[in-house]
Amino acid sequence: MPKLVLFIPCEKLIVDEDQNPSLITIIQTLNVSIPAGQAIPKEVMSPQQWDIVTIWLPERDDQGKSFRQIIEFVGQDGGIPIRGETSLNLEQGKWCRQKIHVFGMPVGYVGQNTLKLWLEADGVKAAEPLATYPLYINHIQQQEGALPV
């Protein structure tokens, strides 16, 4: 089974000419400004674009096997507004980097949310996630008459 080296959300992944990755603004917390007296419904998505990056290192016995990564954004209530799957193209002795480019952030899910990563090997999904990452979303009420930030 390939070894997970990195699982992280960021605003943008940039790769240089030597194929070395740079993560721009690792996302830990999002503060969402809300007009005074207003609330945001849970299903609201901001127009923010962001990336979820994984880096894998294949093991010797991975040759000839098929692997898929499954990533879910899981809200405190168990809701899953974002889910993505990608195949891993593994070559022995080479890094395998995956980027899921996401359009929209589920900003209605206030509090601690979790990104979860599963690995599916030869069509069988692991029962438990291989990795998790906490992602906090805060709603900040604006003062009456204040301009949006």
For 50, 108, 140, the CA distances from 31, given in Å and listed in that order, are: 15, 11, 7
Looking at domain 3-141, its CATH class is mainly beta
In three-state secondary structure terms, 68 is strand
For 52, 80, 100, 123, the CA distances from 133, given in Å and listed in that order, are: 11, 14, 15, 24
**For residues 63, 125, 14 and 17, what is the CA-based torsion angle, rounded to 10 degrees?**
10
Helices then strands, counting H and E runs in the chain, come out as 0, 10
pLDDT in single tens digits along all 149 residues of the chain: 899 999 999 999 999 999 999 999 999 999 999 988 888 899 999 999 999 999 999 998 888 788 999 999 999 899 999 999 999 988 877 889 999 999 999 999 999 999 999 999 888 888 899 999 999 999 999 887 656 55
